Structure 1
């Protein structure tokens, strides 16, 4: 029998080339004549330019009894200007191929514009008009308030949002804005009207305390001149930037059950406060937290999902709260997930066992290596778009971090050893310093949870 001769010609399989060195982009700083600070990164090939404007309008500055006014103002920036109605403004954005979003958080209000590079000037003019002279029409404010009130009803029905609300209220003093929902409650949102929104705008929105971040393909663009001709037309009084208050919290171990009779699942949120990005331990904490619960192969998921089948997934994370350059900021360290009602106490017992075992035995070199390969290896893909780079640069500005912060974090992640990651995660997730919130059927879960001895148990209505 003659040898088989293939009918097709097979070409050699392509081989990977030498990896190109990568580092998080370094921005260039500047300042406009009106006092607006500017950071920009030229990213050749990124034809969708991202612009983020950070306004020094923190939630802590909201007037007493008007929690949520910052959020209403943020949404109202796209509700027209002194020359355009809300519908006309939306139409102009669409014709420019642009999107403009805004939101309010504890450190301030952020506006995010994305626009094709070929229409950058047009997009910047629309952004400048929104900042310079928002119409803030009474009917639009009423609509936004009504929408927010509807959202609050839905948030109360969402177990994850309800758990977060309860945890923040437990950790922080009632006088601290951190203890209350970012978007306000029904009681504080209902009184918000055009006058309140206008007053908050007048008091806090000015270029002297704001920063603009511009990222994208800026080839052939005289950016300083373009920004002066657009955002440079926004004026306002000079002022000193706000100073965030130190973050303090009561993380005495305890359990709060938010009762939802008949619930077939229990939402878990377990947390305390720990170091934020100003702390030298942040890179090690990032690495250790990822090993604990950052992926499907992490310790929490391996036990609670793969071995026991309690859940579809449990995650651990560190979320910066209020940050300040003097190091007084803190981050929320938390474990979040949901389990079926009958498995609530067993899942909590296994979680505490995982944490205690971690403290006794530490992470393995394999866990550390896998985490580094992902956290560092995925970074070039994570920051492939102009929007992702702009968002991270804006985070750095908001949290008063140096411009090379993110690049330095990746460098340290690659060099950290297993012992450092272990020390950070063990120090952060101390089993006897965790506040546990459970949103579920108290009649079923309360007694088994009390028997675990992980803190005093109290039940509140949903």
Structure 2
């Protein structure tokens, strides 16, 4: 038997986030295409400039219902026929509304791309919005709201956004509307919102996957290129204003055995040159099981199953205003240790400011954030989603590729400064969803801000 020498490991090949090619169809629709060899399930993200702040007064939630109703029938097919046509393509279709606009997401085998894009084009161009389907969607949304109000995480998020942002700002209110506003929505409201905002000239389609077998130019012109509409200007988002002076809001849930904790403030968004340092610093603080918050509150004290710190883009202000991100810390703790856990959480933040993050913490964070990127973007859907986010946030097409280079260069000192700036103890709004009669006194003793109780 011939013995062969053991193969030697090769040097790792450098990885970069794939760069898209940008073009514009005859109807004004912007297209970003990203060829990903071997990814035979193609992902399409169609971003429509229909932002939540454009919803008519008193009709919060109409964007969400418009998105959900797109697949409930067209001028040519009813809802069942449309679903069957999608199934024959082996495609999945979803649509959601968020602050930047409505996002229509498609995944389909590359060999069925044209047929599926025909359905997407038909859905955005000529949705039927049947009365019965709109009524059903309204009823479903009202049922969801009931469940959301019973969910401590959702209650905490609602309270935090209402506290941080002015009541007149759409950001302060639930993205999918309240029971009061959703009840007012009917077929006419949905149709009017669609007619006002669905235009190819202000939309963008991102297509990622193995495009080698497709005549993509021809496919796009025959499908999304047939979507007509009048010229329009892109929406201009106002800068995000907020009041993050230190205070504590307790949302009372009598008898609760746990307290949901959500701490937040506003800070720099992705347009800011310190975003990479902020990402690394916050990750060191609470981005994973080995982060400092988890190490103290979960492993040492046993207060929680896990607590996380995160930066989350709310919306990018005009020109990259830099106050478009929510910087948060979230988790749940046992009711009886709420005060102690919150005190230790504050002590961890103070410890980072006083003693700094270690080189080991920095190295672990950078390795996790940068090292897993090739796996994170293994699917075409992940690539398309990130590119669509960049478009909606007004970022350059090569932003993500350069972002990993920036993350790799962040030092422990820079991460410490960013984490400290992210969570100054006098600029944090603390929301606690739990039993106010059991946690109120202990929280007041911490002196981290005035305490109010909501029912």
Identify whether the pair has TM-score above 0.5, normalized to the shorter chain. Answer: yes
Shift of 1:337: 0.1
Partner-residue secondary structure (3-state), 2:75: coil
Shift of 1:220: 2.8
Query: 2:78 aligns to what?
Result: 85
Q: Is the 8 A contact 1:325 1:401 kept in 2?
A: no
Q: Is the 8 A contact 2:261 2:431 kept in 1?
A: yes
Shift of 1:327: 1.9
Shift of 1:417: 1.1
Alignment of 1:98-247 (within 5 A): 98-247=91-240
2:368 is the alignment partner of 1:374: yes
Distance (Å, rounded) in 2 between the aligned partners of 1:27 and 1:300:
38
Query: 1:448 aligns to what?
Result: 442
Distance (Å, rounded) in 2 between the aligned partners of 1:327 and 1:127:
31
Query: 2:60 aligns to what?
Result: 67
Shift of 1:187: 0.2
Distance (Å, rounded) in 2 between the aligned partners of 1:222 and 1:158:
48
Distance (Å, rounded) in 2 between the aligned partners of 1:386 and 1:144:
30
Q: Is the 8 A contact 1:278 1:325 kept in 2?
A: no
Q: Label 1:14 to 1:259 Cα distance change in 2 as closer, same or farther (>3 A).
A: farther
> Aligned-pair RMSD on alpha carbons?
1.3
Q: Is the 8 A contact 1:56 1:204 kept in 2?
A: yes
**CA deviation string 1:315-350 (max 9, x = no partner):** 000000111451214100000000000010001000
Alignment of 1:311-460 (within 5 A): 311-324=304-317, 326-328=319-321, 329-460=323-454
Distance (Å, rounded) in 2 between the aligned partners of 1:273 and 1:208:
32
2:265 is the alignment partner of 1:272: yes
**CA deviation string 1:158-205 (max 9, x = no partner):** 000000000000000000001000000000000100000000000001
Partner-residue secondary structure (3-state), 1:409: helix
Q: Is the 8 A contact 1:81 1:129 kept in 2?
A: yes
Q: Point out where structure 2 has 5 or more consecutive residues left out of the alignment.
A: none
**CA deviation string 1:117-157 (max 9, x = no partner):** 01011111011100110111111000000000000000000
Q: 2:302 aligns with which of 294, 298, 309?
A: 309
Distance (Å, rounded) in 2 between the aligned partners of 1:351 and 1:381:
32
**CA deviation string 1:363-395 (max 9, x = no partner):** 111110111111100000000000000000000
Query: 1:4 aligns to what?
Result: none
Distance (Å, rounded) in 1 between the aligned partners of 2:13 and 2:56:
51
Partner-residue secondary structure (3-state), 1:242: coil
Q: Point out where structure 1 has 5 or more consecutive residues left out of the alignment.
A: 1-7
Distance (Å, rounded) in 2 between the aligned partners of 1:16 and 1:96:
42
**CA deviation string 1:263-314 (max 9, x = no partner):** 0000000010000000001000000010000000000000000000000000
Distance (Å, rounded) in 2 between the aligned partners of 1:192 and 1:17:
60
Query: 2:38 aligns to what?
Result: 45
Distance (Å, rounded) in 2 between the aligned partners of 1:9 and 1:195:
78
Stretch deviating more after TM superposition (396-405 or 8-17): 8-17
Partner-residue secondary structure (3-state), 1:140: helix
Query: 2:250 aligns to what?
Result: 257
Work out the number of aligned pairs and report it.
454
Distance (Å, rounded) in 2 between the aligned partners of 1:318 and 1:431:
17
Q: Is the 8 A contact 1:325 1:399 kept in 2?
A: no
Shift of 1:17: 2.7
State TM-score, norm by structure 2: 0.98
Distance (Å, rounded) in 2 between the aligned partners of 1:70 and 1:276:
24
Shift of 1:15: 5.0
Partner-residue secondary structure (3-state), 2:276: helix
State TM-score, norm by structure 1: 0.97
Partner-residue secondary structure (3-state), 1:408: helix
